[in-house]
Amino acid sequence: MDKGKKPEKGKRSSKSNTLIFVVIGIFLVLFLSPMLWMVLTGFKHRGEFFTYPPAFIPKHFDWSNFLGGIKLGGGKAIFDILIIASSSALISLVVGSLAAYSLSRFKIGGKNLAFWILSIRMLPPIAAALPLFILYSSLHLLDTYGALIITYSLMNIPFAVWMLKGFFDELPPSLEESALVDGCGRLAAFYKIALPLIAPGLVATTLFNFIFSWNEFLFALVFTRSHVTPLTVFIAGLIGGHEILWGEIAAVGTMASLPIIVLAIFLQRYLVRGLTMGAVKG
């Protein structure tokens, strides 16, 4: 009797696996279709944007939209946001890791300080835009890299502290205590023992902070003019006037997506480990 039931269980499991793959495939098509449409639009001729029915695949792949986007300032916009996002992610990582380690090991501020720090990240950006604009105007920081780097760091540090604290909480304190007994200072134990052990968490936190800065629009619009033009502001500037530059928008959007996609692919194994090991204990 048992031998006769095994094939039925095998068939049920194979059917359930097939159903799961079909559902995942449907969701992938739904989520990736806008991205694929943007990439293909970047290669279309100007007349193909308004055809009916819409042309999904361009007749001839043309690079003129990419070259036009770069000539209009897309290359500089990508360079500007690369500097701003990288600097902000690095500052957030350094300050956030030190603060998270202090909260985890020395219990500074009690149980509620970590959540209070995270609550700063919940502040609506529009509430801080005007006070920061007045401050940066008085310090002559408007339309500079410094204004956005400082602002993004202030917004990303709370997230970094909250996320990294969970990783430090999972590390046994005995590892650092052994290093202290062997003659290491507290800072050396932090740098040589604790940080290497939470490397996946550091990578995941840095990447998230980089993406937050890369995609931010409101602060970039308020604090920049002409000298510094972040990517989101540049793309928004292509909409308006007598014509919407659909081809250049799609081309620059495609170029802007490539760095994030490449980073996610190369750091995939660290991301998976980081997101699974960093659960905060209650």
Could you tell me the CATH number of the domain that includes residue 78? 1.10.3720.10
Q: Domain check: are 24 and 134 in the same one?
A: no
Distance CA 73, CA 113 (A): 44
113-154, pLDDT tens digit by residue? Answer: 877 888 888 888 899 999 999 999 999 999 999 999 999 999
Distance CA 151, CA 9 (A): 57
Q: Domain check: are 153 and 194 in the same one?
A: yes
- Token pair of 144 as six digits: 């500079």
Is 224 a member of any domain?
yes
Q: Domain check: are 9 and 91 in the same one?
A: no
Q: Identify the pLDDT of residue 276.
A: 61
Q: Domain check: are 253 and 116 in the same one?
A: yes
Q: Domain check: are 121 and 161 in the same one?
A: yes
Q: Domain check: are 155 and 216 in the same one?
A: yes
198 Cβ neighbours under 8 A, 6+ residues apart: 164, 167, 168, 171
Is 62 a member of any domain?
no
Find the largest Cα–Cα distance for the chain: 85
Residue 278 above 70 pLDDT? no
Q: Domain check: are 212 and 131 in the same one?
A: yes
167-218, pLDDT tens digit by residue? Answer: 888 888 888 888 888 788 888 888 888 888 888 889 889 998 999 999 999 9
* Contact criterion met (CB below 8 Å) for 251 and 44: no
Q: Domain check: are 134 and 214 in the same one?
A: yes
Q: Domain check: are 123 and 17 in the same one?
A: no
1 Cβ neighbours under 8 A, 6+ residues apart: none
Count of domains in the chain?
2
Looking up tokens 């400082």 gives 150
Count of CB atoms within 10 A of residue 207's CB?
18
Q: Domain check: are 162 and 200 in the same one?
A: yes
Is 53 a member of any domain?
no
What pTM was estimated for this model as a whole? 0.83
Residues in the chain: 282
Q: Domain check: are 26 and 76 in the same one?
A: no
Q: Domain check: are 171 and 270 in the same one?
A: yes
Q: How confident is the model at residue 1 (pLDDT cuts 50, 70, 90)?
A: very low
* Contact criterion met (CB below 8 Å) for 199 and 206: no
Is 57 a member of any domain?
no
Is 54 a member of any domain?
no
* Mean pLDDT on 9-28: 79
Residue numbers of the domain that contains 87? 67-277
Average model confidence (pLDDT) across the chain: 85
Q: How confident is the model at residue 46 (pLDDT cuts 50, 70, 90)?
A: confident
Q: Lowest mean pLDDT of 76-85, 205-214, 270-279, name the range.
A: 270-279
